[in-house]
Structure 1
Amino acid sequence: MTMITKAAADTGTATTIRMADLSIQGLCALLHLASPQLPVGGFSYSQGLEAAIEHGLVTDAGTARTWIADALAHGFARCEAPLWLLLRRAWSEGDEGAVHEWNQWFIASRDSREARAETLQMGWSLHSLLRSVPWGGEAFAPRIAQLGALVDTPGLAYPTAFACACAAVDADEDHALLAYGFAWLENQVAAAIKAVPLGQVAGQSLLLALHPLLEQAVGEARRRASEAPPRLDTMLPQWSVLQARHEHQYSRLFRS
């Protein structure tokens, strides 16, 4: 399975992504993993958005769009998404050392207690689910054991578990990253709908407006993951501060 891309210059312009045909089985697997009904607890986290609302930085659909777009472009696209690609490739190649390295790298990149707890809890939950259902068939059993070892030490990050699940069904990495990114984006919009609050139509309009930015984020992640060494960084100091402040927020709906 291949993907055709139109390379974008370093000007922030959109990257056009045309993906090859996806099998019904592969599509169902990715829709399953990206579903908000997946019992991993993602709905209970806002990743600092609730704290931004508390401090008056996000007050309506427009400011919610700015907040989510910045997190997508300067956090997800530069760190989480390229790391996910590296993990997906490591699982496919059977490189256990690389899986451990990038898993630890991602945990270390979570710079607040709640952010670390979020990825570890969701990773644990996805591992438990994959172990309980026949995901990937009998051939997946050794990878389940590897995930279990990570749960114990140093902890299993959610991108690591998600990438493993995608590798188990041989999901194309480009389709899979888009599904992973859309799940992240949809969860942020859902948090905004609850906490700002926004109406359902306003929330869906916001999600639709962010579609092109997700495409750009996927293209940026691919470029960063392909460099030698991979270029991973985040520059979201306000996001980090608000994540830490959320730990002491008196009234809240979300766990981060």
Structure 2
Amino acid sequence: MRIAELTALLHLASPALPIGTFSYSQGLEAAIEAHIVTDADSARDWIASGLSDVLARAELPCLAHQMERWRTHDAARLADANGEFLASRESAELRRETEQMGWSLRQLCISLEWGDAPRRATLASITPLAQPTAFALAAYAHDAAIDATLAAYAFSWVENQVAAALKSVPLGQLAGQRIIVALRGPIDAAVTRALMIAPEQINTFAPQLGILSARHESQYSRLFRS
């Protein structure tokens, strides 16, 4: 991997990227409220399940296919696939989350002039915008490989889930690092699986996540927006 590609992906995966990732738990906080996640082991299992059963089946393959569409600049299919991804979100909270982060990442892409002008114009025309569509352009603009981009995206997701667990289970820092280390292999497996999924095979069948996320909308005490 070229140093420029690596540093670009580290930048895109960084929690310091100003798109608001830190304010979301993606259902984890509701799982804690429901006593599904109570300690480090159950937090690890919850995050691993989200990685293999949700991210690897939907978000990662969507990201991969959107990167290819940015390469060919298939504006119509980019918009259609973006709409399909938005429609697949399991709750209103999860949809608002991807729209807010997609909007924030679009502002970065346009302000920092990532990608050429025609592709930035296409990005600006897709409204509302899902995070994977915006992330795909940002990665494409930096000439990142698809598999490496998916790994960076998945690692960023895992890291954010662990950060949410540290605050809300709560867990200690060492427990959080153990979870990240334990999920290195599953991240590799999730990327490998995602690369094999055709557009018509993408699915987000996660009923428990949908129920918990819907409950979170009216949860009495919350640290996170999802």
Shorter-chain TM-score range:
over 0.9
Aligned residues: 226
Matches of 1:32 and 1:142, distance apart in 2: 24
Following TM superposition, by how much is the alpha carbon of 1:98 offset from its aligned partner in structure 2, in angstroms? 1.5
Q: Compute the RMSD of aligned alpha carbons.
A: 1.0
1:55 aligns with 2:34: yes
User: Structure 2 unaligned runs (5+)?
Assistant: none
1:147 aligns with 2:126: no
Following TM superposition, by how much is the alpha carbon of 1:135 offset from its aligned partner in structure 2, in angstroms? 2.8
Please name the residue that 2:102 is paired with: 123
Structure number having the greater helix percentage: 2
Following TM superposition, by how much is the alpha carbon of 1:168 offset from its aligned partner in structure 2, in angstroms? 1.1
Q: Higher mean Cα deviation, 36-45 or 91-100?
A: 91-100
Tell me the TM-score normalised to structure 1 length. 0.86
Matches of 2:73 and 2:2, distance apart in 1: 24
What amino acid sits opposite 1:181 in the alignment? A
Matches of 2:225 and 2:96, distance apart in 1: 9
Q: Within 5 Å, which residues of 2 pair with 1:98-247? A: 98-136=77-115, 140-151=116-127, 155-225=128-198, 230-247=200-217
Following TM superposition, by how much is the alpha carbon of 1:50 offset from its aligned partner in structure 2, in angstroms? 0.1
1:38 aligns with 2:17: yes
Q: Within 5 Å, which residues of 2 pair with 1:75-114? A: 75-114=54-93
Runs ≥4 in structure 1, deviation > 2 angstroms? none
Identity, % of aligned pairs? 54
Query: 1:108-145 deviations in whole A, cap 9, x for unaligned?
Result: 01021100000000000001112222434xxx222221
Please name the residue that 1:12 is paired with: none
What amino acid sits opposite 1:188 in the alignment? Q
Matches of 2:19 and 2:117, distance apart in 1: 20
Following TM superposition, by how much is the alpha carbon of 1:102 offset from its aligned partner in structure 2, in angstroms? 1.1
Tell me the TM-score normalised to structure 2 length. 0.97
